[in-house]
Amino acid sequence: MDPLYVQVHARDNVAILVNPEGLPAGARFPDGLTLTERIPQSHKVALRDFDQGDPVIRYGQIIGHATRSFRAGSWVREDLLDLPSAPSLDELQLSTAVPAPLPKIDGYTFDGFRNSGGAVGTKNILGITTTVQCVAPTVDYAVRRIRAEILPRFPGVDDVVAITHTYGCGVAIDAPGAAIPIRTLRHIGAHPNLGDAPLVVSLGCEKLQPARLFPDGGFPILESDPYLIRLQNETLHGFGDMIAAIMRAAEKRLEQLSRRRRTACPASDLVVGLQCGGSDAFSGVTCNPAVGYAADLLVRAGATVMFSEVTEVRDAVHLLTPRAINEDVARDLIREMKWYDDYLARGSADRSANPTPGNKRGGLSNVVEKALGSVAKAGSTALMAVASQGERVTAKGLVFAATPASDFVCGTQQLASMNMHVFTTGEGTPYGLAMVPVIKVSSRTALAERWPDLIDLDAGRIATGQASIADIGWELFRSILDIASGRRKTWADHWGLHNALAPFNPGPVT
Ligand code: CA
C-alpha cells in the first residue's frame, strides 16, 4: 500500500502511521511529508518541525511537550515528550456542555431470559457462589462432575460455573476498603444470567459468612437453606458427602433453570460493559471510536452503557465533567478520580504507572495519549450517572462505573452490573469471562488476520478506509443483539476461554 497516516483532529501536529510493515527513511506521503527515519506501524510521525517545549497534540489535546527539537517526518517516541501533569480536580467545568439527547431508535430487540425481578439474562447459567477461596478446588471438582453427569440432561442450561475468587478470609473485613470486594461478589452472585437462583458453598469458619455476603434483601441466606452448603457442617462425612450435597442442590437448581425460556426483550434491557486491554496507538482511531458509535446507538435504544478504568479516564476527566447531566454527577466523577489518586498515592504510585510495555511497543507514549484514546469508547452522549467501585449500576444511558484498569479486575467488577461485555484490543489478548459474552474488537486488521479465531470484529478497516466508524459501530450493535440472543457465540465462548475472577480488594490482608 502507499504511505498512509491517520491524523485524528485538524489541530494535531502528530499522526499515526498505518502501513502494516512500517515505513523506511525517505518514504514520502502524498502531501510531501518525508520520513527522516524508519517508523513502525501505529507509531507517531511528526507533521511539522518541533522546538524544545512545543506542545505535542493528538486528538486535539496536548499529550506532552517536546523534550528537544526534532524535524517533520521524525518518529515521535516516548522519550521525545514529557508527561504533562493530570488535570486538576479543583478547576473542572461541571455540567457546562451537556450534549443534547440523540434521536431515539426503536424496535431493536434481543431474545433474553427475563427474571422475576425484571433484570434480563443473556445466558442461562448455574453459578455456584463461594464465600472463600478455601472451598474453590472442592467446587471446581463438583462442577467437573456436574458438567459430565447432570448438565447433559438439561440442554436448556448453557453452563455450570464455579464463582471462585481469592477473597473471603485473612482480610481486615471491617476495613473501609473491604466493602468493595464484598459488594462486587454479592452482585455477581445475584447476576441476572444466574436466574435469581443462587447456590452458595461456604467453608464455615471464614470471615465472609454467607449472611454477610447476602444480607437481608436480595437473597436472604438461612442456615436451613438447602442451597447453602457448609463444608464444615457436622452432617457431612468426608469429601464424598460434600460433593454429593453440592450435586444434589445443583440438580434441583438445574431443574428450575431449565424451565427458563428466551423471550423478545427491548435493547433497553442490555447493560453493556466497555473495556480496552493491550491498547495501541490505533485503538483511539479505530476500535474505540467504533465502540463509541455503538455506545451511542445503545443509549439511543434506551440501554445502559458502562465505561470504566479510572486511570485511563483520569487524564481526560476535563472532557467528561462538562458532559455530566448535572453538577452532582460531575462531582461524583471527581470523587471517584480523587479516591483513586489517594489509593495510588498510598502505594507510592501515580497514574503514570498505567501504560504497559505492550502499550509502548504499540505506539502509545504515555497515559495521557492512552486516556484520550480510551474515552472514545464513551461515545458522545451525556454522562447520566457514576457508580462507585463494585456498586451495581441502575441508571440508563451512559454511566461511568469506577474500576481499576487491569483487564481481569475491571471485567470482574463490571460483572456486578453488565450482561454483555465489549473489549477492544490492539496488541491482542485471548481474554474471556464465563458469566457474560465478551465480544473482542481489534484495532488493527493485522491482529484480526493473525487471530481470526479469537477476534470477533475487525475495526482496523477504519484506518485503511475500507469501512467507516459508523459501519463498524452498526456492525457491533447488531452483533451485540445477536450474541445476547444466543444466536451467535463469541470466540471466547467457543473455546471456553474464561478468566478467573479477580475482585479488587484495596483493604488490608491480615
Ligand atoms: Ca483494561
Q: What's the pLDDT score for residue 329?
A: 98
Cell of 433: 469471562
Q: Looking at the structure, tell me whether residues 339 and 243 fall in a common domain.
A: no
> Is 107 within a domain?
no
Who has greater pLDDT, 208 or 351? 208
Q: What's the pLDDT score for residue 222?
A: 59
**What is the number of domains present in the chain?**
3
Q: Looking at the structure, tell me whether residues 336 and 402 fall in a common domain.
A: yes
Beta-strand runs (E) in 358-437: 383-387, 397-401, 420-425
Yes or no: say if 175 and 500 are a contact pair by the CB < 8 Å rule: no
> Is 462 within a domain?
yes
CA distance 239 to 463: 57
Yes or no: say if 168 and 132 are a contact pair by the CB < 8 Å rule: yes
> Is 277 within a domain?
no
Cα-to-centroid distance, 405 and ligand 1 (Å):
4
Residue 219 has pLDDT above 80, yes or no: no
> Is 242 within a domain?
yes
Residue 217 has pLDDT above 60, yes or no: no
Q: What is the pLDDT of residues 125-144, one digit of tens each?
A: 999 999 999 999 999 999 99
Cα-to-centroid distance, 276 and ligand 1 (Å):
5
Q: How confident is the model at residue 223 (pLDDT cuts 50, 70, 90)?
A: low
Cα-to-centroid distance, 348 and ligand 1 (Å):
21
Cα-to-centroid distance, 354 and ligand 1 (Å):
10
Helix axes 238-257, 136-149, angle to 10 degrees: 60
Q: How many residues does the chain have?
A: 510
**Of the residues 85, 109, 133, which one is the last residue of a structural domain?**
85
Residue 218 has pLDDT above 70, yes or no: no
Cα-to-centroid distance, 213 and ligand 1 (Å):
27
> Is 103 within a domain?
no
Q: What's the pLDDT score for residue 351?
A: 83
**Of the residues 257, 273, 291, which one is the last residue of a structural domain?**
257
Cα-to-centroid distance, 407 and ligand 1 (Å):
4
Q: Looking at the structure, tell me whether residues 295 and 248 fall in a common domain.
A: no
Q: Looking at the structure, tell me whether residues 287 and 401 fall in a common domain.
A: yes
- Is residue 418 helix, strand or coil? coil
Q: Looking at the structure, tell me whether residues 71 and 29 fall in a common domain.
A: yes
Residue 197 has pLDDT above 80, yes or no: no
Q: Looking at the structure, tell me whether residues 306 and 365 fall in a common domain.
A: yes
Q: Looking at the structure, tell me whether residues 206 and 313 fall in a common domain.
A: no
Q: Looking at the structure, tell me whether residues 345 and 209 fall in a common domain.
A: no
Residue 1 has pLDDT above 90, yes or no: no
Q: Looking at the structure, tell me whether residues 165 and 252 fall in a common domain.
A: yes
Q: How confident is the model at residue 84 (pLDDT cuts 50, 70, 90)?
A: confident
DSSP assignment string, 439-479: EEEESSHHHHHH-TTT-SEE-GGGTTTSS-HHHHHHHHHHH
The whole-model pTM stands at 0.94
> What would the mean pLDDT of 52-59 be, rounded to a whole number?
96
> Is 29 within a domain?
yes
Cα-to-centroid distance, 43 and ligand 1 (Å):
21
Q: What's the pLDDT score for residue 424?
A: 96
**Of the residues 215, 240, 257, which one is the last residue of a structural domain?**
257
For ligand 1, an ion, list residues with CB under 5 A: 277, 405, 407
> Is 14 within a domain?
yes
Q: Looking at the structure, tell me whether residues 314 and 463 fall in a common domain.
A: yes
Q: Which domain holds residue 33?
A: 1-85
Cα-to-centroid distance, 411 and ligand 1 (Å):
8
> What would the mean pLDDT of 90-106 be, rounded to a whole number?
97
CA distance 12 to 446: 25
Cα-to-centroid distance, 424 and ligand 1 (Å):
9
Q: How confident is the model at residue 117 (pLDDT cuts 50, 70, 90)?
A: confident
Q: What is the pLDDT of residues 372-431, one digit of tens each?
A: 999 999 999 999 999 999 999 999 999 999 999 999 999 999 999 999 999 999 999 999
Q: What's the pLDDT score for residue 85?
A: 87
Q: Can you say how many angstroms the Cα of residue 477 is from the centroid of all Cα atoms in its chain?
A: 16
73: CATH: 2.30.130.110
Cα-to-centroid distance, 128 and ligand 1 (Å):
26
Cα-to-centroid distance, 374 and ligand 1 (Å):
9
Residue 463 has pLDDT above 80, yes or no: yes
Q: Looking at the structure, tell me whether residues 251 and 287 fall in a common domain.
A: no
> Is 507 within a domain?
no
CA distance 234 to 100: 62
Q: Looking at the structure, tell me whether residues 77 and 130 fall in a common domain.
A: no
